[in-house]
């Protein structure tokens, strides 16, 4: 990786700890000679100049926000944990402040993570999309009532789901909402989708891993007891209202999210430390 001379700093102004951490990191970067521009994830507009790298200071939500906004420019992102779990972070704040030079010298590794490309079609016409999602897209009702979704993978009918909705996630998102719905943990460099039903009204529907080489189409058939308000959520941050008969199309995004981390970064170490994976 080339030497980093300019950085876009993403931060969450609603969290005091993250705000204080971001200010300290900005000072350290500038002291080391880097140009720094700031982007608040709480602002309506997200505008920034081209940069060599981005730094997302906060929890996983800040990294997800940064990923969706830099993907079109191919800017690599370093997540610095200033939140809770920080599963998408490449480094902890204290470790980064002790070692800013390796980051600016380009000594960090780049890990490619796949994203979803999500669009919605209504009566054969494109409503919106394709939009990127690093973790997942979720189709569910705003009401506490089950509804039906019909899923097709490639040219084949997959299944009809009756329940509280579906989670379609990337390998990166396998440790997020999908995991809470009993989905598997998937190595982040695999080219697959995970389809996890939310509270299915059957004992036979279980999460399934699908190849990312084909598109997944999910048609909203609605509830059995009248109209419902159904929504599509991308990374839990962008939400859209769906109508009966809409088709959600999920494919692999043409670009990869470039995640930065120190040379000693280990995915399995993250699992053990942050999810207590394998502990008795």
Instruction: Please check the confidence at residue 1 and state whether its pLDDT lies above 70.
Output: no
Instruction: Please check the confidence at residue 226 and state whether its pLDDT lies above 70.
Output: no
* Residues 181, 62 share a domain: no
Mean pLDDT in residue range 119-140: 94
pLDDT of residue 191: 94
Number of domains comprising the chain: 2
pTM for the predicted model, two decimal places? 0.90
* Residues 222, 129 share a domain: yes
Q: Please indicate, yes or no, if residue 1 is contained in any of the structural domains.
A: no
Active site residues: 60
* Residues 231, 191 share a domain: yes
Instruction: Please check the confidence at residue 270 and state whether its pLDDT lies above 90.
Output: no
Higher pLDDT pick, 36 / 227: 36
pLDDT tens sequence across 70-125: 998 889 999 988 766 677 888 777 788 877 888 888 888 999 999 999 999 999 89
pLDDT of residue 279: 78
Q: What CATH code is carried by the domain that includes residue 166?
A: 2.60.200.30
Look at residues 80, 82, 71 and name the one whose alpha carbon lies nearest to residue 258: 71
* Residues 103, 206 share a domain: no
Look at residues 24, 100, 18, 29 and name the one whose alpha carbon lies nearest to residue 59: 18
Least confident residue range of 4-8, 33-37, 86-90, 270-274: 86-90
Q: Please indicate, yes or no, if residue 210 is contained in any of the structural domains.
A: yes
């Amino acid at each position: 990786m080339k030497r980093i001379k300019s950085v876009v700093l993403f931060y969450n102004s609603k969290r005091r700890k993250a705000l204080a951490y971001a200010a300290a990191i900005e000072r350290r970067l500038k002291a080391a000679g880097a140009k720094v521009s700031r982007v608040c994830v709480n602002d309506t507009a997200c505008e920034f100049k081209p940069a060599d790298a981005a730094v997302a200071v906060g929890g996983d939500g800040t990294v997800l926000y940064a990923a969706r906004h830099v993907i079109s420019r191919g800017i690599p992102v370093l997540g610095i944990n200033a939140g809770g779990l920080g599963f998408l972070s490449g480094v902890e704040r204290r470790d980064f402040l002790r070692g800013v030079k390796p980051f600016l010298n380009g000594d960090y590794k780049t890990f490619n993570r796949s994203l979803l490309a999500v669009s919605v079609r209504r009566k054969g016409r494109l409503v919106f999309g394709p939009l990127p999602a690093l973790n997942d897209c979720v189709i569910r009702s705003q009401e506490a009532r089950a509804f039906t979704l019909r899923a097709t993978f490639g040219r084949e009918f997959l299944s009809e789901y009756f329940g509280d909705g579906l989670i379609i996630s990337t390998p990166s998102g396998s440790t997020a909402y999908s995991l809470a719905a009993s989905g598997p943990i998937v190595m982040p460099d695999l080219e697959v989708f995970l389809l996890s039903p939310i509270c299915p009204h059957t004992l036979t529907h279980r999460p399934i891993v699908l190849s990312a080489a084909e598109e997944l189409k999910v048609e909203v058939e609605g509830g059995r007891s009248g109209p419902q308000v159904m929504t599509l959520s991308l990374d839990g941050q962008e939400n859209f209202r769906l109508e009966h008969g809409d088709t959600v199309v999920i494919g692999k995004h043409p670009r990869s999210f470039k995640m930065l981390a120190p040379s000693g970064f280990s995915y399995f170490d993250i699992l053990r430390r942050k999810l207590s994976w394998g502990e008795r």
